[in-house]
Amino acid sequence: MFPSPLPLVVLLYTLVLPLTSAFYLPGTAPRDYLQGESIDVFVNTLTPMLNSKLHSLISYDYYDPHFHFCQPPGGPVKQPESLGSILFGDRILSSPYEINMMENQTCKLLCQASVPKDDAKFINDRIKEDYGLNFIIDGLPSSEMKRDSKTNEIFLDAQGFNLGDDETIPDKPALNNHYDIYIQYHQKDYSGSYSYLPGSGLQQKQYRVVGVLVYPRTVNSMTSGSNQPDCFTNQPFYLSEASNNEFYYTYSVSFIPSDIPWGLRWDSYLHVFDPKIHWFSLINSLVIVGFLVFMVMMILYRTISKDISRYNSIDLSEDVQEDYGWKLVHGEVFRLPQRPMLLSVMVGNGLHLICMILVTLIFALFGFLSPSNRGSLATVLLICWTLFSCVSGYASSRTFSTLGGDQWKSNMILTTVLFPIVIFSVIGLLNLFLVFSGSSGAVPFGTILAILLLWFLISVPLSVAGYFYGMKHGSFSNPTKTSSIPRQIPPCPWYLNPIPSAILGGILPFGAAFVELYFVLSSLFGNRAYYAFGFLFLTFSVVALTTATTTVLFVYFVLCAEEYRWHWRSFAIGGGSAFWLFVYGIWYWASRLSLDSFTSVVLYFGYLFLFSLLNFLIGGSIGYVATYFAIRRLYASIRVD
């Protein structure tokens, strides 16, 4: 029944080989420049900047016709990018900037731009929304040097630089049409290696780029009677919405020596904001959560061991009156729950996601996903998601047969397609919104096709293989027999009903996660690379532990109330943190964001819904699996007559 793995390996091989070009990860090897050698300047999308508030979630292509930025002769050329980088919204293109190593330039004319009045309004609106430009010079993102007001440390903020300035005079946005580019270079150390100019025997100096700073300015550089730009007037430049505009784009380049060696050039980008608060909150939540987990363990251990010794020591003739609580339902706990099909599909998909996240976090922890490989995080997530679909098949098959389901064919199909289709449809719908809003964030057709192929040709077969493998292992044995006639269920207190218990049970895991969640959201929306993977890994472990213990505790109370329908409750309680995630998302939207367009709001809530759904699946399956094994252990330890 189990298919031979050979065709699968061949399939994987033939598929992954041509895709390796799509997974090309640039920026890993240093590049040495001789004096005067030209340095690549690429442009990325325009993204909204998170200053005090974020105004939009839509990004624009640099060469969007509304902006009228200067184009390179022959038109912009697309640069190769990894799948993950495309998915995360990078669209990297060539630019007309000419920068040569060690050659300073002052007020160099890029081009003369003309912006009609309709597009002037478009650009002014984007300036009001705090859009930023993103250049990539020798693989480094353009950044601004900032000083952390708390720690006084100097760091490079790679959030992009302002498209314009709407703060000097409110409601009168000025366009930044001049850029001062500072390139920090490091002269290569010659102690080990020598390089000679061919023929001359002279040693030539080599340089490496170790930092890129861009300070934009607004300057009305077009003066009448001269065809040279003047970058040093104090007059700002305003785009007129009443008439057509003609103006210059200019730039200056300065090369600044730096002690930073090439290998450490990313370090100044990886700045921890408020490290004290970060640590303090993490330790705080670790202590609280550790204490709670300890309490839960103690309560469970003491109560249960007392219960077990009492049950097992009771004289059989008297135990009719003494029996109470969870022991009474020993004939019911393993009764087939409602909708076992959906439950097993959800557990399978949840475990699939857990494996994906865990392996990605471990990769990140060992430093494989440095920000110098743009999009490597998303790429690794995608690869893990594709490969670990075998886990979903395996787990779903074993859960389904343990629950006592018998329609294995429909179960297999649903496990493989149900959630991917739900997730693809939501993302497809959001993508449609992006397409209509003219945003560059819309995923291009080729990428969609690549992902669908990955899913259909690798993920689906692996899931089916996992399913058959799970069927070979069969179901888990249940320690007690299920009685033929269902017991009557006494009314149970309100807080043990599925929805209240899920909401209550979700508080603890969410409480453990929410400090880190704030940082994740800020770097997600602030367009900053997230790299505190150590924190994230710790948080993930703590949350998983908390979810498991709270769910077991709640289900224990449920069983003590002689309510034996625990299967769905355990899933709901485990996934209860999704409710709080959603509430937190609404709070974040109301307090930290001020999204202007309808599309941005739809996007935000679409992503929030997806995150909450994933959270529900992950938490729910942790809760279910932990509870199943706890219950199995519990009922195996009592003597049943």
Ligand X SMILES: *[C@@H]1O[C@H](CO)[C@@H](O)[C@H](O)[C@H]1NC(C)=O
- 610 touching ligand X, by CB under 6 A: no
| Tokens matching residue 454 | 């990955």
Nearer to ligand X, 256 or 295 (CB): 256
Instruction: Compute the least distance from the CB of residue 257 to ligand X, in Å.
Output: 8
Helix then strand then coil, in percent of the chain rounded to 5, is: 50, 15, 35
274: left (phi over 0), alpha (psi -120 to 50) or beta: left
| Per-residue binding letters, 574-603, with ligand X (x by CB under 6 A) | ------------------------------
Classify strands 178-187 and 206-217 as parallel, antiparallel or unpaired.
Answer: antiparallel
**Minimum CB distance to ligand X smaller for 178 or for 398:** 178
Judged by CB, which is closer to ligand X: 231, or 355?
A: 231
CA distance linking residue 27 with residue 213, whole number of Å: 18
What b/e string do you get for 52-77 counting C-beta neighbours within 10 Å, with b at 16 or more? eebbbbbbbbbbbebbbbeebeeebe
Measured CA distances, 193 to 185, 206, 527, 578, 620 (Å): 19, 11, 39, 57, 58
In eight-state DSSP terms, residue 264 is G
Alpha-carbon distance of 513 to 544, in angstroms, equals: 10
**Gap between the Cα atoms of 473 and 470, Å rounded:** 5
Q: How far is the CB of 268 from ligand X (least distance, A)?
A: 19
Q: 461-480: which residues touch ligand X (CB under 6 A)?
A: none
- Angle at CA 66, nearest 5°, toward 374 and 242? 145
CA distance 143 to 156: 6
Pair of tokens at residue 428: 């497809």
Nearer to ligand X (CB atom), residue 39 or residue 471: 39
Secondary structure element (H or E) that encloses residue 557, with its range = helix 533-560
Nearer to ligand X, 104 or 204 (CB): 104
Compute the least distance from the CB of residue 106 to ligand X, in Å: 9
Please identify which residue in 28, 38, 104, 483 interacts with ligand X, judged by CB under 6 A: 104
Sequence-ordered list of residues with C-beta below 8 angstroms from that of 375, at least 6 positions apart, any chain: 81, 82, 83, 84, 85, 86, 87, 88, 90
Q: Where are the alpha helices (DSSP H) in 98-207?
A: 117-128
Spatial distance between the Cα atoms of 580 and 506, rounded to a whole number of angstroms: 7
Q: Specify the residue, 205 or 565, whose C-beta has the smaller distance to ligand X.
A: 205
| Minimum CB distance to ligand X smaller for 102 or for 300 | 102
Contact with ligand X (CB under 6 A) among 19, 25, 34, 102: 102
Measure the CA–CA gap between 181 and 143, rounded to whole angstroms.
10
Q: Cβ of residue 136: shortest distance to ligand X, in angstroms?
A: 22
CB nearer ligand X, residue 216 or residue 405:
216
> What is the C-alpha end-to-end distance of the chain, expressed in Å?
40
Residues 550, 551, 557, CA angle at the centre, nearest 5°?
A: 90
Which residue's CB is nearer to ligand X, number 257 or number 428? 257
**Residues 386-405 within binding reach of ligand X (CB under 6 A):** none
Question: What is the rounded CA–CA span in Å between residue 389 and residue 397?
Answer: 13
In the complex with ligand X, the residue whose CB is nearer, 41 or 357, is 41
Alpha helices in 338-388 (DSSP H): 340-365, 376-387
Q: What are phi and psi of 347, to 5 degrees?
A: -65, -45
Total residues in contact with ligand X, by rule CB under 6 A: 5
Q: Are the beta carbons of 16 and 73 closer than 8 angstroms? A: no
Decide whether 35 or 240 has the Cβ nearer to ligand X.
Answer: 35
**Least CB distance from residue 101 to ligand X, whole Å?**
9
What Rg value do the Cα atoms of the chain yield, rounded? 30
Length of the chain: 641
Identity (one letter) of the amino acid at 282?
L
CA distance 387 to 369: 18
Is the Cβ of residue 187 or residue 305 nearer to ligand X in the bound state? 187
Q: How far is the CB of 255 from ligand X (least distance, A)?
A: 5
To ligand X, the closest distance from the beta carbon of 180 in angstroms equals 9
Asked if 418 contacts 350 with a C-beta cutoff of 8 angstroms, the reply is no
Q: Which is nearer to ligand X, 35 or 410 (CB)?
A: 35
Between 213 and 434, name the residue whose CB sits nearer to ligand X: 213
Residue 116 Cβ vs ligand X, minimum distance, rounded to whole Å: 37
Shortest CB 542 distance to ligand X, Å: 49
Is there a contact between 164 and 174 (Cβ–Cβ < 8 Å)? Answer: yes
Would you say 181 or 361 has its CB closer to ligand X?
Answer: 181
To ligand X, the closest distance from the beta carbon of 254 in angstroms equals 4
| Least distance CB 32 / ligand X (angstroms) | 17
- Residue 74: both structure tokens together: 């022959």
CB of 183 to ligand X, least distance (A): 9
How many Å apart are CA 431 and CA 425, to the nearest integer? Answer: 10
In whole angstroms, how close is the CB of 145 to ligand X at the nearest point? Answer: 14
Map the footprint of ligand X across residues 242-261, applying CB under 6 A: 254-256
Shortest gap between Cβ of 445 and ligand X (angstroms)? 45
Q: Report the nearest approach of ligand X to the CB of residue 251 (Å).
A: 14
Chain positions contacting ligand X, by CB under 6 A:
102, 104, 254-256
